[in-house]
Structure 1
């Protein structure tokens, strides 16, 4: 027994050495971040370079793409990354040249988009973003690594991702996703606060549909880990009025509430959610756990095929699969169809901008 601490120390040293060796031997991957000079870009860069996105043993080369007016800010961000002396960071490319930015990239986080301005009509917003994402799709089609995986964050995220898919036909549709993990994380946070439990003990909420005010945060299938085992979040909350009312509206309107409170958008939580999305997509979801991702609909749950819609998914070895067979009540069905209808309208409006 006296020798046990020594064995433990030797085992720990061996495990640490193995991780270091794996980090040295594992080839670096290239990650493109568009709109890198913005608030989310500033927040996400150190997260990527510290392994929050792809794990602590994966070296990265970061490509930053932005418009010419932001090139000076991108250059400053590059300097900060270098000054941070991050062991996983093997290189930084800051450029305004889309071909150079997309060259051989393995992963893409698309933060760039045209923001909605006061008085702007929805069609005008879509028209400007269609032009941006059509051009980005063409560059990725020509220059990215063959199996690159793409996350669209910039709004309208679902429809921006759809346009990207349409104009990058050689990229598999399953490799193009959009971010609803932020809404998923917000839903987890609301349940954990309501039940006064650690957020890590709550799982399997669902965000259905569009990353907009029509999204449907669904707690019907959520599970909470307790000292007596896993319990239904719905049963523990025991308040359908709250679950069908304040819970949903709080998650739907959380972004606006944060802007009102801090006079800026939720850049930190968006960056964290983008890392969570890519991490689970590439490295896998824990057994018995699903997450929400905006993915290309194949008609599951009666949702129209051909739109990017948020579903509950599990991930394994870099592939996502929609969770099947969940019971959908009448209230949920109406909410799911409402957000699907909005996405169909957005799709039609976006396609009309192409003519």
Structure 2
């Protein structure tokens, strides 16, 4: 067996982490033969709950889990990390303006970015889950100048999985018969789930999603709004946010970073824009279609973009520019 890798999960006493930690600890993310040290960070008032999570991980008696470190101290949590999954963030509270939400999260992710810069390995792979995920990811990256900005990504895999599933249900095929859906832009209600390049395997043959679904009105209407609003719909039904599906998406995202995307397939993730792909402004964490090999992502470039898609892609970019500019006011 190889040496253990150090994996941090923040917000580790929360419900997403509760669904996620077992997936990681039993080898579903970093491999069935990869020993782990799991570091669990949360705020001081959550330490009693964190202790319960710590005990449960011990009680799972998992062979890959070499050590579990629960802590409220950044200097402990971020030391020598191979991977950091930043789940914890300030949630939006009733009556809170988006500007207030951004201000609170800038403080958190500026601090965590600085801790990554100071304590983590320079090769660390950082996934930001806590919302607003794209902008939080940008702030963390800017606060960790010695770590390549390409090492930072934010989670839009949950939206990707939702889009894939909606098409599969509509056509009546298993979800893995649908590939190459794209989530463009922000992990918010402006995101654009795009299936113009998606393929669906029907009766052993791959065809375009529009051909498979045979309902352009649905694909340009209810399909998009269902994916955009799915998180809110889950909260309305459960009175809690998506935890099980978020944990699955986090696992998918990190496993693809570690082992690469399947041959001939691309996935969606929020990564830094350099201004060269699809006319998206630079210095944004924007969700693109990517392929991953040797732990390095590349944007799938050159896909044809029609006017319908262009409008949606630009609208979500505009929201991200506004979020970024607001957040940067608070970073000093």
CA RMSD after TM alignment: 0.8
CA distance in 1, matches of 2:14, 2:197: 36
CA distance in 2, matches of 1:180, 1:286: 18
- Please give the per-residue CA displacement for 1:141-177, whole angstroms capped at 9, x wherever unaligned: 1100120000000000000000011110011010000
Does the Cα contact within 8 Å between 2:234 and 2:240 map onto a contact in 1?
yes
Does the Cα contact within 8 Å between 1:107 and 1:148 map onto a contact in 2?
yes
**Long gaps (5+) in structure 1:** 1-24
Does the Cα contact within 8 Å between 2:110 and 2:331 map onto a contact in 1?
no
CA distance in 2, matches of 1:103, 1:338: 39
Superposition deviation, residue 228 in structure 1:
4.1
Counterpart in 2 of 1:336? 313
CA distance in 1, matches of 2:42, 2:242: 20
CA distance in 2, matches of 1:259, 1:213: 14
TM-score if structure 1 supplies the norm length? 0.92
SS in structure 2 of the partner of residue 253 of structure 1: helix
TM-score if structure 2 supplies the norm length? 0.98
Q: Find out whether 1:347 has 2:330 as its counterpart.
A: no
Counterpart in 2 of 1:321? 298
Q: Find out whether 1:77 has 2:53 as its counterpart.
A: yes
Q: Find out whether 1:255 has 2:243 as its counterpart.
A: no
Q: Find out whether 1:138 has 2:114 as its counterpart.
A: yes
CA distance in 1, matches of 2:123, 2:204: 44
CA distance in 1, matches of 2:296, 2:204: 33
Does the Cα contact within 8 Å between 2:157 and 2:249 map onto a contact in 1?
yes
Q: Find out whether 1:244 has 2:220 as its counterpart.
A: yes
Which of 163, 168, 179 in structure 1 is aligned with 2:139? 163
Counterpart in 1 of 2:281? 304
Does the Cα contact within 8 Å between 2:122 and 2:148 map onto a contact in 1?
no
Superposition deviation, residue 227 in structure 1:
2.7
Alignment of 1:1-355 (within 5 A): 25-299=1-275, 300-355=277-332
Decide which structure has the larger Cα Rg and report it: 1
Which 4+ residue blocks in structure 1 deviate beyond 3 angstroms?
none
